[in-house]
Chain A
Amino acid sequence: MIAYLVRRLGYALIMLVLTSFVSFLIIDLPPGDFMDQRLAELAERGDRSAELRIAEYRARYGLDQPLLTRYWIWASNFVKGDFGDSFQWERPVKDVLGERLQMTIVLALAATAVTWIVAIPIGVYSAVNQYSLGDQVLTTIAFIGMGMPNFLLALLILFFAVVILGQDISGLFSREFRDAAWSLAKVWDLLKHLWIPAIIASVTGSAGLVRIMRANLLDTLGQPFVEAARARGLKSRTVIWKHAVRIAINPLVVIFGSEHLPGIVNRNMLLALILNLPTIGPVFIQALLVQDSYMAGTCLVFLVILTLLGNLLADICLVWLDPRIRLE
């Protein structure tokens, strides 16, 4: 088992290096670079010394160097924890991201919690009461939810909030608390703002999870051991949760780790942009659009790490949950 994990880890590392290089390459591909935009801006303002300063900038950030050199410098610094400087923010990438990493994780956890708390009971109910009215209604809702891209949903909700309710639901904190130190009041403020993005972010995920849970549980309920458990006099509830769900849930854990967790971060970047949340998403999008290479590159690498981690976690969880796999 250890050997397996080590192999997986090594493999993941290789992937990481490759993807980081390719990411860097892709970000650099659009013609021109960040400075061109700046130059255009400054020229518009009639700033004559712009060209000189731009040249200085270029030299400082090594933008006049060939791709490989720049990558190498960045990569070697990366492993030391120095992710380079952001052109746009004019601060080290690490600083900008650090602040936002917290909130990204908070949002991801919140969305995850909502997803599972909502989806599992609904999925179980649907399966146990197959073909009932409740099941059909829930399945239809789940179906609709699955096809709904988060950002469109966010726009609609934003519309309701802004136009119809007249409320401002953007951001994760009210103005007073934004830069304040952590306190109970701040946590409460966070929760008040967090629930809308968390729910929107969990819609697609929970819809999918409901359907998978339902399908898996239906399969499991048809298996002999469920009937055998019932024949031993166990309560229906015990049979369903302690025996059937316990088995049916294993594939969900895998799916969760390999798709949902990374998905919650990846697919909700637009959501974060629209609602102006202080997470990594909006920063990354901005960086891509203006070719802020180090920022964009670092973000992309982090996202890849997240995906790989998710996969690894999922595999470990599966092994832990299912003794059939564990003891091989």
Chain B
Amino acid sequence: MNENELLVEVKDLKVQFDVRDGIVRAVDGATFEIRRGHTLGIIGESGCGKSVTAKAIMQMVPKPGKIVGGEVLYHRRLKSNGSDVTEIINVTKLDPDGALIRQIRGGEIGMIFQEPMSSLTPVYTAGSHIGEAVGLHRLIPIRKVGTQMVETIRAQRHVTKEEAREIAVDMLRRVGMPKPEERVDSYPHQLSGGQRQRVMIAIALSCEPVMLIADEPTTALDVSIEAQILDIMRELQDTVDMAIMFITHNLAVIAEMAEEICVMYMGKIVERADVVKVFFKPQHPYTRELLKSIPHVGKKSRERLASIKGMVPDPFNLPSGCVFHPRCPDYMPGKCDRIAPGWTEVEEGHWASCLLYEDV
């Protein structure tokens, strides 16, 4: 098995929202890959399109949004009779309510959300959430003994209710929930924020997915709980060899979790590299400004807090050329306001989208 095997490829993805006042290009040409067992981080400010990208991967872009370009290729590994066959599925072409994408959702690619408070249906217990997911996705192989020789025919069935409940308790235990046998029958409003997020992780993991998309999973939690949740995620990832796509606006968290980082701004990926390079050798001006804006403990209190000049532009009136140019400290008049930058490999494995690295 190739260590760096591709799992999901996103190629030039474009997602648009058609609203009354115009068209919003929520995602405008995003390209990146997620590899088996690895963690990719997506970082950017609110509204830059990170969540929409994640939903596009699951073919779950909400109306009035639409995928209008590019593709999402999912390398699905099927186990048939011992040999591993990989099937490449173009998610963007699947029927959003069709059987195939629904198998993938939850069963092969799981997703956890930002607000554990409201991401669980209030009238169902933690256990029934897990049971529902498990009942849908988990298949137990049935072994049959043939007449002539011991033959294992790989048939599969869905889990029974009792089995589902056992799995639920077990999952809760694995995510570190205290007293899982009791908590399995708790309603969401009886659980704390951290506990709810554990339940979400449990639900996602109970179906043994190959990838987990985590959309700001700890943003709504206290820092101490956050640390615990991140620990759990890492542990489970090691145990299960699961890829993670981690979305956040929190630089510190992403530094901890991700191996490779994509920086997004206004629907475009402006920089992509492994975590060390992004933090220590950022190439794109936006990344640099972002990193500069982290307040440092110990600096002289006289200095002003650094921030990025200007404001996030109106999505209906995007700046011409490079979207970031009105706020860019390295703005080149005549170039940056006229030409949109492409995608340059500045170093091996390190890309940036900036005219500084292009010959224009």
List A residues at the B interface (Cβ < 8 Å): 223-225, 227-236, 243, 246-247, 321-324, 327
Contact = CB atoms under 8 A, between A and B. Distances in A.
Nearest to B101: A233
B187 interface: yes
Contacts of A327: 187, 190
Given A227-B60, A233-B136, A234-B136, A323 B123 contact: yes
B42 interface: no
A233 B106 contact: yes
Given A224-B115, A225-B118, A231 B106 contact: yes
Interface string B40-79: 0000000000000000001010100000000000000000
A322 B105 contact: no
A322 B60 CA distance: 29
Nearest to A228: B119
Nearest to B137: A233
B113 A322 contact: no
Nearest to A326: B187
6 contacts: A227-B113, A228-B111, A228-B119, A231-B113, A246-B121, A247-B121
Q: How large, as a class, is the contact surface on chain B?
A: 20 to 34
Nearest to A325: B189
Nearest to A246: B123
A326 to B, nearest CB: 9
B133 interface: yes
Contact of A235 (B62, B102, B104, B187): B102
A234 B105 CA distance: 8
Interface in B236-284: none
A247 B120 CA distance: 12
B107 interface: yes
B119 A322 contact: no
Given A232-B132, A233-B104, A234-B132, A323 B111 contact: no
Contacts of A224: 113-115, 118-119
Given A227-B60, A322-B123, 4 more contacts: A233-B102, A233-B105, A233-B133, A323-B122
A88 B302 CA distance: 95
A193 to B, nearest CB: 40
Contacts of B115: 224
Contacts of A235: 97, 102
Contacts of B137: 233
Contacts of B58: 231
Contacts of A232: 105-106, 110, 132-133, 136, 203
Contacts of B152: none
B96 to A, nearest CB: 8
A243 B102 contact: no
A266 to B, nearest CB: 32
A236 B190 CA distance: 28
B86 interface: no
Contacts of A243: 121, 124
A298 B18 CA distance: 61
B103 interface: yes
A231 B107 CA distance: 10
Contact of B111 (A223, A225, A231, A322): A231
Contacts of A227: 60, 62, 113, 119
B113 A228 contact: yes
A223 B118 contact: yes
A227 B59 CA distance: 12
Nearest to A229: B121
Contacts of A322: 122-123
B122 A233 contact: no
Contacts of A234: 102, 106, 132, 136
Contacts of B119: 224-225, 227-228
- The 3 tightest CB contacts between A and B, nearest first, are A233-B106, A232-B106, A233-B105
A229 B118 CA distance: 11
A230 B187 contact: no
A325 to B, nearest CB: 10
Highest count of chain A CB atoms <10 Å: which of B97, B103, B123: B123
B118 A324 contact: no
Interface in B184-219: 187, 189-190, 200, 203
A321 B123 CA distance: 8
Contacts of B189: 323-324
Contacts of B123: 246-247, 321-323
Contacts of B122: 225, 247, 322-324
Contacts of B110: 231-232
A323 B186 CA distance: 10
A205 to B, nearest CB: 25
A327 B190 CA distance: 9
B187 A323 contact: yes
A227 B105 CA distance: 12
A233 B107 contact: yes
Contacts of B107: 233
A128 to B, nearest CB: 11
Contacts of B62: 227
A224 B111 CA distance: 12
